[in-house]
Structure 1
C-alpha cells in the first residue's frame, strides 16, 4: 500500500526563480533611487522643492476670510 514517489514539477521551481528575480530587480531599482536622491540632497542642500515653496507662501498669507 505504499504510494509511489511524487515527481517534482520543474515549472514550480522556474516560477519561484522568476518571482525572486523580479523582486530582486525591483529592490535594486528602489535602492539605487534612494541612494541617488540622498547623494543629490547632500550635494544641493539649499534647493527646495516647489511644493515646499508653495506651502511656505500659503502659510505666510492670511486667509481671505480671516479678521485683519
Structure 2
C-alpha cells in the first residue's frame, strides 16, 4: 500500500546551476566594464585650463550680481 519513494529529478538542479552560472558571468562582465570605464575616465580626464577656470569665476560673479536688486528699486 505504501508508494515507493520518488526519485529525485536531477534536471531541476542542473537548470538552477546553469542559471546561476549565467548570472554570475553577466555580473562579472558588468563589473569589469564599469571598473575599466572608471580607470579610463580617470586616466583621460581633461586638464582644467586657466581660461575655463576664469570663465567659471566670471559666470559665478555674474550670477551673484544678477541676484542683487538695483539701487533705488522697491523690494
Distance apart, 1:40 and its partner CA: 0.6
Alignment coverage as a number of residue pairs: 63
Q: How large is the RMSD of aligned CA atoms in angstroms? A: 3.2
Tell me which stretches of 4 or more aligned residues in structure 1 moved more than 6 Å. 52-55
Does the alignment pair 1:16 with 2:17?
no
- Bigger radius of gyration: 2
- Identify the residue that residue 31 of structure 1 maps to in structure 2: 35
1:23–1:54 Cα change, 3 Å? farther
Query: For 1:1-68, what aligned pairs fall within 5 Å after superposition?
Result: 6-8=8-10, 9=12, 10-41=14-45, 44-46=46-48, 56-61=57-62, 62=64, 64-68=66-70
1:67–1:32 Cα change, 3 Å? same
TM-score, structure 1 normalization:
0.62
Can you give the 5+ residue segments of structure 2 that lack an aligned partner in the other structure? 71-75
TM-score, structure 2 normalization:
0.57
Distance apart, 1:60 and its partner CA: 1.7
